Chains A and B, each alone.
Chain A
């Protein structure tokens, strides 16, 4: 069966510090991978998605970046965090096309102080 792992679960980082969140999927090949964020009081916002190794599409211009160094690994990064980067980050995967929906990771609560 397929599983998705996301870590860390919580993170408190100072403004200006770097960020690395990691997501891995097991039990499937060539998944579509996604990073979403929920800021306080808001809905889910798509940040990045990837349909293959090294293929990243950015939905929202900001100081975050994503990379997919391996088929089942998706990393969200920042060189310098802003206060506005605080939120709940979710990784998700789907089969090609996503018509059957996503399976989400357990999420990371990021607080930038």
Chain B
């Protein structure tokens, strides 16, 4: 069983604050790490697919980094806005699995 952990479980920040969260995954047999943004009662939306150690991806105010040797990825949000409020999921794809293994998510609430 692959273990993918996300921290913190939930986070409240003020509008304009920058924030980051962590995804930890097995460092062996790595293929890809995915980040999704999931709003309540909607389908998860893909943010990034990361495949190489040292990868950095950016989409507007959101960026992510990847360290496959130590098994972690960080997601950063710069200048949080209320519309950033959502659950952020990471998912790990290994060479031995046929499907993604999801973390339990970080629930972000941005207060106006």
| Interface residue B42 (Cβ < 8 Å from any Cβ of A) | yes
Residues of A18-41 whose CB lies within 8 A of B: 32, 34, 36
Q: Which residues of A contact B93 (CB under 8 A)?
A: 98-99
- Once the chains bind, are A44 and B98 in contact (CB under 8 Å)? no
Smallest CB separation, B41 vs chain A (Å):
7
- Once the chains bind, are B43 and A101 in contact (CB under 8 Å)? no
A98-B99 contact, Cβ under 8 Å, with A43-B104, A104-B43? yes
Contact of B44 among A42, A90, A98 (CB under 8 A): A90
A98-B98 contact, Cβ under 8 Å, with A104-B43, A106-B43? yes
Q: How many residues of A contact B (CB 8 A)?
A: 25
Residue of A nearest to B91 (CB): A101
| Interface residue B100 (Cβ < 8 Å from any Cβ of A) | yes
- Once the chains bind, are A101 and B98 in contact (CB under 8 Å)? no
- Once the chains bind, are B99 and A34 in contact (CB under 8 Å)? yes
- Once the chains bind, are A107 and B42 in contact (CB under 8 Å)? yes
- Once the chains bind, are B102 and A44 in contact (CB under 8 Å)? yes
Q: Which residues of A contact B46 (CB under 8 A)?
A: 101-103
Q: B residues bordering A, Cβ < 8 Å? A: 31-32, 34, 36, 41-44, 46, 49, 51, 89, 91, 93, 98-105
Q: Could you name 17 residue pairs across A and B whose Cβ atoms are closer than 8 Å?
A: A43-B103, A44-B104, A44-B105, A90-B43, A98-B93, A98-B98, A99-B51, A100-B32, A100-B49, A101-B34, A101-B36, A101-B91, A101-B100, A102-B44, A102-B100, A107-B42, A107-B43
